[in-house]
A and B are shown apart, each in its own frame.
Chain A
Amino acid sequence: MTPLLAGGGPVIPNYGKATGCIANDNAFLCPKWVQEHWGDTLQPALVQHVYLTAIAVGIGFAIAFLCALAAHRFGWLAPPISVFTAFLYTVPSIALFQVLVPITGITITTIEIGLVGYTLLVLFGNTLAGLRSVPPDVIEAARGMGLTRLQVLRRVELPLAVPAIGAGIRIAVVTTISLATVAAYITPYGLGKPIFDGLQIDYHTEYVMAGLLAIALALVADAVLVLVQRSLTPWRRARA
């Protein structure tokens, strides 16, 4: 009893969240908490978030790419696929996750199904727009040089579509990073988990830090993708 009050301050219950920080009057950002919980909370959440995003965009791109190739070859496929992906996009994410829970449970699968669905609109739209933006003269010239249809696709159309595809992937990645934070409301995974945990117990440092990490992740991912895209399209740099 005496030792507790010896410090002169009020007795503050320790919720086990932040030993050195809770007395700090729930500061905006308490560095000590970040230091103590980097290893057990923040870093795993960040890694999980990267996984969530990579898997969603990877699967989404595979589906969208095949659909775009099919729609490029058979033009009549484009409108129905566009409408379907647009429809998927308009479903509010947090509700979709909740509808999926009775089917796939509180799992990562639930999140991924939703996230993949939201990437399709941008990835399909941009890939198809990129393929269609290749000037007919260029294709004509390639055909005239004796390239087969498949060769034209692989060596002319796809490289020229890279900027559009890259723009689509950038949007898909940052959108997915954003949606994945919300998805933690359903399945506690990724950077959304510390955000919702922090909100739940009203502990500023936890959700501010997780928010900052989510923003940093989005910006870094976007910057990395720009660099990758530049290295894939050297001719654009040369022209500029």
Chain B
Amino acid sequence: MIVAATLNGHTFVDAFRFLWDDRSFVGQKVLEHVGLSAVAVGIAAAIALPIGVWLGHIHRAAFVAINLSNLLRALPSLAVISIFLPILGIGHAVVVIALVVLGAPLILTNSWVAVDGVDPDIVEAARGMGLTPLQILLGVELPLALPLIFAGIRTAAVYVVATATLAGVVGGGSLGDIIFNQPTYFLSGVIGAALLVSALAFAAYFLFTLLERLLTPRGLRHAGAVRLHEEEPPVVFEAAVTS
């Protein structure tokens, strides 16, 4: 599968030449890549956000939110694909499932930690002011938790964009079609497509950072009002994946 390629300065020049010369084809692959990733992140968020936020709100199921998530996170994406492949067949569905399995735990853990970790004094004050539990959740806890929640979605998006490359192994529909096909596109094409995947991952990172800024209430932007409990297992992991 891997041909004996040579690597020199020209290879990198050729990488950019490939991207420019085949721009309509490459553009199509980029769109497919983004579409696949967006669907996966969307599904992951739709599943994980409500669960994480609700469990954090009622301060329950720490074990599920953290350990089950860690368990799912540990699953190798290619292995997940290979197990679902005989059931679902070649195509996008099997890749989306693997990407959701990759992304959802990150979003679940972060949203749980974010909401669970909102300063109890603030929640107490809100309750004292007569806010209902739903008002507390929507008006107090969620705004305070937003930065960390978004950190989770952002990390998931970066992982998903990078991993969507694996679609190239099972039926295609992403930049992986180029990266996993060196005999056709040569090493220069592989490098060019890889640069695009990196660029997309960075773009996803900055997009969600920007969204977070826009959605964070102005009063909180530099206040650092989100204080976590002292015992906070996933925060290290959070620091690790976003730094």
Could you tell me the dominant secondary structure of chain A's interface residues?
helix
Interface residues of A in 128-175 (CB under 8 A from B): 129-130, 163-164, 167-168, 170-171, 174
Number of A-B contacts (CB under 8 A): 145
Query: Are A215 and B240 touching (Cβ within 8 A)?
Result: no
Query: Are A101 and B79 touching (Cβ within 8 A)?
Result: no
List residues of chain B with CB within 8 A of the CB of A167: 233, 236-237, 240
Q: How many residues of A contact B (CB 8 A)?
A: 53
Q: Does B96 contact A (CB under 8 A)?
A: no
Q: Does B110 contact A (CB under 8 A)?
A: no
Give the residue of B5, B78, B87, B201 whose beta carbon is less than 8 angstroms from that of A101.
B5
Distance, CA A43 to CA B82, complexed state (A): 18
0/1 interface trace, chain A 166-192, chain B, CB 8 Å (1 if under): 011011001001100110011000011
Query: Are B170 and A211 touching (Cβ within 8 A)?
Result: no
0/1 interface trace, chain A 62-94, chain B, CB 8 Å (1 if under): 000000000000000000001000100011101
Query: Are B2 and A101 touching (Cβ within 8 A)?
Result: yes
Given contact pairs A182-B78, A204-B86, A98 touches B70 in the complex (Cβ within 8 A) = no
Query: Are A90 and B198 touching (Cβ within 8 A)?
Result: yes
Q: Does B75 contact A (CB under 8 A)?
A: yes
Size bracket of the B interface: 35 or more
Query: Are B187 and A102 touching (Cβ within 8 A)?
Result: yes
0/1 interface trace, chain B 174-203, chain A, CB 8 Å (1 if under): 001001101000010011011001100110
Query: Are B194 and A125 touching (Cβ within 8 A)?
Result: no
Give the residue of A26, A181, A212 whose beta carbon is less than 8 angstroms from that of B83.
A212
Query: Are B187 and A98 touching (Cβ within 8 A)?
Result: yes
List residues of chain A with CB within 8 A of the CB of B85: 199, 204, 207-208
Q: Does B71 contact A (CB under 8 A)?
A: yes
Query: Are A215 and B70 touching (Cβ within 8 A)?
Result: no
List residues of chain A with CB within 8 A of the CB of B201: 90
List residues of chain B with CB within 8 A of the CB of A99: 7, 187, 190-191
Which 10 A-B pairs rank lowest in CB-CB distance, beginning with the nearest? Answer: A95-B194, A211-B82, A178-B76, A211-B79, A102-B7, A214-B79, A174-B74, A207-B82, A204-B86, A218-B74
Please list 5 pairs of residues, one from A and one from B, whose beta carbons are closer than 8 Å in the complex, sorted by A's number. Answer: A95-B194, A102-B7, A168-B236, A171-B241, A178-B79
